Amino acid sequence: MQIIDGKKLAKEIRDQIATEVEELKTSRDITPGLAVVLVGDDPASHAYVKMKAKACKEAGIYSITHEMPASISQSEIEETILMMNKNPNIDGILVQLPLPSHIDTTKILELIDPKKDVDGFHAYNFGRLMTGLDGFVPCTPLGVMEMLKAYNIDPKGKDACVVGASNIVGKPMAALLLNAFATVDICHIYTKDLAEHTKRADILVVGVGKAGLITEEMVKEGAIVIDIGINRLEDGTLVGDVDYETVAPKCSYITPVPGGVGPMTIAMLLKNTLKAAKERA
């Protein structure tokens, strides 16, 4: 069993991004810029945004956060996004989710200029992903593919199972694996017998936010297990969706939580922002 060290890999990628950012500043006088929209006072959202801002600073990327109260109107958020769409110094726009219930999240995300959609949530970029065309890919699934590549794991011809069918993780993850010529099975809350699907998987990717969902008997010997879930137990411990202690011995590769996919997500946000800056007209 080999642990896939997302923390170490993310550091290497971020160092490379910092080098490329410096080259872009020197060669084209362009400083990549990322704007974040943060609505409300959710502690987790504020923590994530703070981490993203720190990572941007370390990579030489300019970042700004538009903090808004939870009571803000739909039109006020829309005005801010339209302003950022027109700002030539902003290459990437990120709306921290979830938004308050009175806000139409889909409308907000689709208002972002697809060329600045560094989260890869716009229908335009999702459509390009589904058809195998270049565009912005959601950061977490993109990070998983980078991990597989770094550890010389080729999905081609392998049976893959993605547990979780969200627009942010599950669906784009399945599309990326399919584009890499894996045979992909997608499971969700209404799947009848989850274990029947997970036991067949050479590559098992889990991201639903339920601690201990995947147990030892649900994983086949030698499987590659990617745990995207992040759950905080009552004692404050962070764990994934996979019962790590019992599942790990059966795996050929497995990601830990924390220190697995999480750091890669932020690294991919920086990578997407750099990509947007390079493609600046």
Return binding residues for NADP(+).
164-166, 189, 230
Q: What is the DSSP string of 195-236?
A: HHHHTT-SEEEE-SS-TT-B-GGGS-TT-EEEE---EE-TTS
Residues annotated in the binding site, as ranges? 164-166, 189, 230
Measured CA to CA, the distance from residue 81 to residue 119 in angstroms comes to: 14
Residue at 88: amino acid letter: P
Q: For residue 3, which phi and psi values (nearest 5 degrees)? A: -85, 130
Q: How many CA atoms lie within 13 Å of 217's alpha carbon, on the beta-carbon side?
A: 4
Annotated catalytic residues are 52, 96, 119
- Please tell me what DSSP assigns to residue 99: P
* Residue length of the chain: 281
Tokens of 46: 């504020």
Q: Among candidates 279, 269, 228, 230, which has minimal Cα distance to 58?
A: 269
Q: Among candidates 117, 211, 216, 220, which has minimal Cα distance to 161?
A: 220
